[in-house]
């Protein structure tokens, strides 16, 4: 009996060791996100936009020598294409955005291209943002926007490139104009609990990202 018990313990230990070796290399990739900080003042609007180089490489082929590594020279040569691509996929109604400074920022999850954008527009009301970045290659991508306007509370908005545009500070995705019918207003009110700006909206986005990525499901199973 003792030998049988010892054999069972040995088999359990061996199984755990094998599982540990098999699952050790398994990793779930970080969600594809970009980050926007919109600061509106009485003099105009400034936007800081951080986009991961790994995501930009997927659409712009930044790695010209295809060695699996991005060099400063490759990124420097690609900056005009990065800016052109970015501006083509971000619109703030009433604001003509122009590119200012550029830089790179190293983060735990990789290096980001940082674009500083500016406009002379004054956001006297909640801006309507049209965001379509990476829509053609990654429908799970999201933009995370932090919007600050004078005298208004800070607004956090999830930007879905497959459902543009979004009005910051509103309770749901808006239409292409800033006006809504009474029926639309009622629907927006009923959807308040799951709006992109609510806490549940961010939780829902996290759940959606996990469930729509097969690699994440495999990671959890392992």
Q: Which two tokens stand for residue 189?
A: 């009110």
Instruction: Give Cα 161 distance to the centre of its chain.
Output: 10
Q: What is the pLDDT of residues 42-81, one digit of tens each?
A: 999 999 999 999 999 999 999 999 888 899 999 999 999 9
Instruction: Write the Ramachandran bin of 107: left for phi over 0, alpha for psi from -120 to 50, otherwise beta.
Output: beta
| More confidently predicted of 221 and 31 | 31
Q: Is the pTM of this model over 0.85?
A: no
Distance CA 182, CA 71 (A): 54
Per-residue pLDDT of 157-190, as tens digits, reads 999 998 867 766 543 333 333 333 333 433 333 3
Burial class (CB in 10 A: 0-12, 13-18, 19+), 171: buried
Question: Would you state the pLDDT for residue 165?
Answer: 78
The set of residues, in sequence order, having a beta carbon less than 8 Å from that of 82 and lying 6+ positions away, is 51, 56, 60, 113, 115
Backbone angles phi, psi at 69, to 5 degrees: -130, 140
């Amino acid at each position: 009996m003792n030998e049988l018990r010892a054999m069972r313990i040995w088999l359990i230990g061996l199984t755990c060791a094998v599982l540990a070796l098999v699952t050790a290399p398994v990793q779930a990739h970080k969600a594809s996100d970009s980050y926007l900080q919109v600061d509106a003042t009485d003099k105009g609007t400034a936007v800081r936009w951080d986009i991961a180089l790994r995501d930009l490489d997927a659409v712009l082929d930044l790695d010209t020598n295809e060695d699996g590594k991005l060099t400063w020279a490759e990124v420097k040569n690609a900056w005009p294409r990065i800016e052109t691509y970015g501006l083509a996929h971000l619109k703030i109604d009433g604001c003509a955005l122009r590119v200012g400074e550029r830089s790179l920022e190293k983060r735990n999850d990789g290096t980001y291209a940082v674009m500083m954008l500016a406009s002379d527009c004054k956001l006297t009301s909640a801006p309507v943002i049209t965001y379509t970045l990476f829509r053609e290659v990654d429908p799970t991508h999201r933009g995370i926007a932090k919007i600050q306007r004078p005298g208004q509370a800070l607004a956090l908005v999830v930007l879905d490139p497959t459902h543009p545009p979004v009005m910051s500070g509103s309770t749901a995705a808006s239409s292409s104009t800033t006006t809504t019918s009474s029926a639309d207003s009622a629907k927006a009110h009923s959807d308040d609990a799951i709006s992109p700006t609510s806490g549940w909206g961010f939780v829902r986005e996290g759940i959606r990202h996990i469930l729509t990525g097969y690699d994440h499901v495999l990671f959890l199973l392992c």
